[in-house]
Structure 1
Amino acid sequence: MKAIQYREIGKGPELVEIPTPEPGPGQIRLKVTAAGLCHSDWFIMGLPAEQYAYGLPLTLGHEGAGIVDKLGDGVEGIELGGSYAIYGPWGCGQCHACAQGKENYCTRAAELGIAPPGLGAPGAMAEYVIVDDARHLVPLGDLDPIETVSLTDAGLTPYHAIMSSAQKLRAGATAVVIGTGGLGHVGIQVLRAVSPVTVIALDISEEKLSLAREVGAHHALMSDASAVEKIRELTGGVGAEAVFDFTGVQPTLDIARQVVAVDGDIQIVGIGGGILPTGFFSTPFGASVRAPYWGSRSELIEVLDLARTGSVGVHVEQYTLDTAVEAYEKLHKGEVRGRAVVVP
């Protein structure tokens, strides 16, 4: 089968031919209907050899959906021919976090060698993918996999961050969204769907700010030296009760620190590598700083339910496996509007 793999440290993704995998006991094979590209892929491909720990070759694609075409021995409750989304942050299934469906915070995954598809295990950027357990599949029903596959990360991750700050998202409050690309433009929609807050969007791209306006941002500002003053003006000097940084580079974290309100939340979602100092004389009194990771299985179900009502959608650019390397190049250059999806 065709697959997109990372095969050599320091080089980009490659289109290759590899054997079609067979499901073992308890496993499920999906014929992939859609796979999403993510900046996280480039993050791991950009790591030096001494920091890279995901194995080579690595089939990419931690956002995946497909049709069940083969079941391993002992699999129950999964429909052959059914359409499913893959819940990506695989855990042990037995620790306290996993018992709550929060496998994104599994305490044993690393020691047991459990890794998400595309981030250690073979991913969905291929014609077929193996899912390790039935609990990691969520039925799509009549949802279009191409339109919704990105919600398994680009929807789930913002939703998890936003819902963990739900108590701050009251009427009259303000939320700042920094970075309105793949995750940020979905985060704006989630905020509008689940809360009454005023949403201020920041980006360095006018095209992405235009997308932010399209999906519901009340204000869209350039993320430059004037952003802090403008946000302070829009909030009457109070600042934002919640700041969601989907970029995570040092300049955006510096903005987040300067615009968060007293007793507000800063959620660092992006993995841009910036560091935010916190404490007295650094962040306002009572302000909390959090680095959330992905989301729970139940939250993915909720995100897909938002998609069913039309409250949340993803702006998608479609590619084939043959053009996926080109799509990764566009993503690396910041030229993808919304989310890139490969349709095998």
Structure 2
Amino acid sequence: MNRLLRFSAPGVVEVVDALTQELQPGQVRVRTLYSGISAGTELTAYRGTNPYLTSAWDPDIRLFRGADQQAGLAYPLDGWGYSEVGEVVEVAADGELPGDAPRVGDRVWGIWGHRAEGILAMDALRGHVLPAGLDPLAAAFVRVGAIALNGVLAADLGVGTTVVIFGQGVIGLLATRFASLNGATVIAVDGIPSRREAALQWGATHALEPGDQLAYTIRELTGGAGADVAIELSGNYHALHAAMRAVGADGTVVASGFYQGDATPLHLGEEFHHNRIQLIASQIGSVPNRLRARWDVGRLQRTVVDALADGRLDAAQLVTHRYAIEDAAEAYELLDTDPSAALQIVLEF
């Protein structure tokens, strides 16, 4: 049997057994070692706030439509998760294997959800074999690392640039590290003291608490000019508005969070309007427009793997909790009720 995680209803987590399937030609079976929990996207499914529960995405016209019986998501939701690492245990080859295809015994990273084993098309795992010596636990950060790197690329950072990064959870800390590697001066913002301390360790020059004085403090740190750019990763509308106040005239705000509900905290007639702020959405489905001739999501992920392998990203240290898959309900309750208690939670199989 194949154990998998199920959201049966908002706030209700179960681990259920599914039948093990036979491989078809061109497929690979992977035994899961680790699966990282996303404290952002996954909690929207856990809490029942994900827009796919009330609307259906039409990929042809790229609009959400009102959900009906044939479209959208509904509980139970099975196999959520997008940060998996595992070992290849079976390959159903359809002819000779390509040179970059996974073999039995290889450890790979990919996306197959919180389940004991994943069955994937071989093409989905080509180039996903972990480098020799890389801790498999670190590979659980490839996807979240790509999200962070995408936001940093959208911000167009470099030496002399000042960036304010809102939210110093896992993705925010990874973004702080990438931004500092790019030569930018990083001002990190988070309401949790331990995360501000971590931000300083990960490359931030300053780590500030959110609040009414934040924009004034940033003006003082930047000689009155304001930051060049802000990256908002918390998914909180108050933080997004604070990001608009943090940058100076003609500044840029990169909105990388997954925002839910009505955006009532945004006051677009204030700094956004008067400072001519450019607001950019960053989402892992594609890279910034100006880079699409040379970059794609695959390159984002390979870049993260390289940084994990050579030590520029010591992501495994961000794991604060490990839970057996059978105890997954406890993990989600912790993230939902006491977010300050954990950074990265990983499920073990």
TM-score (norm 2): 0.80
**Separation in structure 2 between the aligned mates of residue 23 and residue 34 of structure 1, nearest angstrom:** 22
**Separation in structure 1 between the aligned mates of residue 244 and residue 331 of structure 2, nearest angstrom:** 34
SS of the counterpart of 1:80? coil
Aligned with 1:339 (options 336, 340, 344): 344
**Separation in structure 1 between the aligned mates of residue 145 and residue 187 of structure 2, nearest angstrom:** 19
Match of 1:141 in 2: 131
Range that drifts further, 126-135 or 42-51: 42-51
Match of 1:84 in 2: 108
State the shift of 1:22 in Å.
3.2
Match of 1:96 in 2: none
1:338 is aligned with what amino acid?
A: L
State the shift of 1:150 in Å.
2.1
Q: In the superposition, relative to structure 1, how do residues 337 and 45 fare at CA in structure 2: closer, same or farther (>3 Å)?
A: closer
Q: Is 1:293 the equivalent of 2:283? A: yes
Match of 2:176 in 1: 188
Match of 1:268 in 2: 255
Match of 2:305 in 1: 304
Q: How far does the alpha carbon of each residue in 1:103-123 deviate from its partner, in whole angstroms, 9 at most, with x for none?
A: xxxxxxxxxxxxxx4xxxxx1
Q: Is the 8 A contact 1:264 1:287 kept in 2?
A: yes
SS of the counterpart of 2:234? coil
Aligned with 2:147 (options 148, 151, 157): 157
2:254 is aligned with what amino acid?
A: Q
**Separation in structure 1 between the aligned mates of residue 77 and residue 270 of structure 2, nearest angstrom:** 46
1:158 is aligned with what amino acid?
A: A
Aligned with 1:179 (options 167, 171, 193): 167
Match of 2:67 in 1: none
Aligned with 2:220 (options 233, 239, 243): 233
SS of the counterpart of 2:151? helix
Q: Which sections of structure 1, spanning at least 5 residues, go unmatched?
A: 89-116, 118-122
1:104-119 alignment to 2 at 5 Å?
117=112
State the shift of 1:336 in Å.
4.4
Q: Which sections of structure 2, spanning at least 5 residues, go unmatched?
A: 57-71, 287-296
**Separation in structure 2 between the aligned mates of residue 68 and residue 231 of structure 1, nearest angstrom:** 49
Match of 1:257 in 2: 244
State the shift of 1:284 in Å.
5.6
Q: In the superposition, relative to structure 1, how do residues 281 and 7 fare at CA in structure 2: closer, same or farther (>3 Å)?
A: closer
Q: Is the 8 A contact 1:208 1:337 kept in 2?
A: no
Match of 2:116 in 1: 127
Q: Is 1:205 the equivalent of 2:187? A: no
Match of 1:19 in 2: 19
SS of the counterpart of 1:139? coil
1:45-56 alignment to 2 at 5 Å?
45-47=46-48, 50-51=54-55, 53-54=72-73, 56=76
State the shift of 1:240 in Å.
1.4
State the shift of 1:57 in Å.
4.0
Q: Is the 8 A contact 2:85 2:108 kept in 1?
A: yes
Range that drifts further, 181-190 or 132-141: 132-141
Q: In the superposition, relative to structure 1, how do residues 283 and 63 fare at CA in structure 2: closer, same or farther (>3 Å)?
A: farther
**Separation in structure 2 between the aligned mates of residue 280 and residue 7 of structure 1, nearest angstrom:** 41
**Separation in structure 1 between the aligned mates of residue 189 and residue 303 of structure 2, nearest angstrom:** 26
Q: Is the 8 A contact 1:6 1:45 kept in 2?
A: no
TM-score (norm 1): 0.81
Q: Is the 8 A contact 2:241 2:267 kept in 1?
A: no
Paired-residue identity, %: 23
2:106 is aligned with what amino acid?
A: G
SS of the counterpart of 1:256? helix
Q: In the superposition, relative to structure 1, how do residues 335 and 250 fare at CA in structure 2: closer, same or farther (>3 Å)?
A: same
1:33 is aligned with what amino acid?
A: L
**Separation in structure 2 between the aligned mates of residue 281 and residue 343 of structure 1, nearest angstrom:** 46
2:149 is aligned with what amino acid?
A: Y
State the shift of 1:206 in Å.
0.8
Q: Is the 8 A contact 1:2 1:15 kept in 2?
A: no
- Considering only CA atoms, is the larger Rg found in Structure 1 or Structure 2? 2
**Separation in structure 1 between the aligned mates of residue 232 and residue 43 of structure 2, nearest angstrom:** 18
Q: How far does the alpha carbon of each residue in 1:17-50 deviate from its partner, in whole angstroms, 9 at most, with x for none?
A: 2223333333221111111001211112333653
State the shift of 1:251 in Å.
0.8
Q: In the superposition, relative to structure 1, how do residues 256 and 57 fare at CA in structure 2: closer, same or farther (>3 Å)?
A: closer
Match of 1:328 in 2: 332
SS of the counterpart of 1:31? strand
Aligned with 1:60 (options 67, 77, 80): 80
SS of the counterpart of 1:183? helix
**Separation in structure 2 between the aligned mates of residue 7 and residue 280 of structure 1, nearest angstrom:** 41
Q: In the superposition, relative to structure 1, how do residues 6 and 322 fare at CA in structure 2: closer, same or farther (>3 Å)?
A: closer
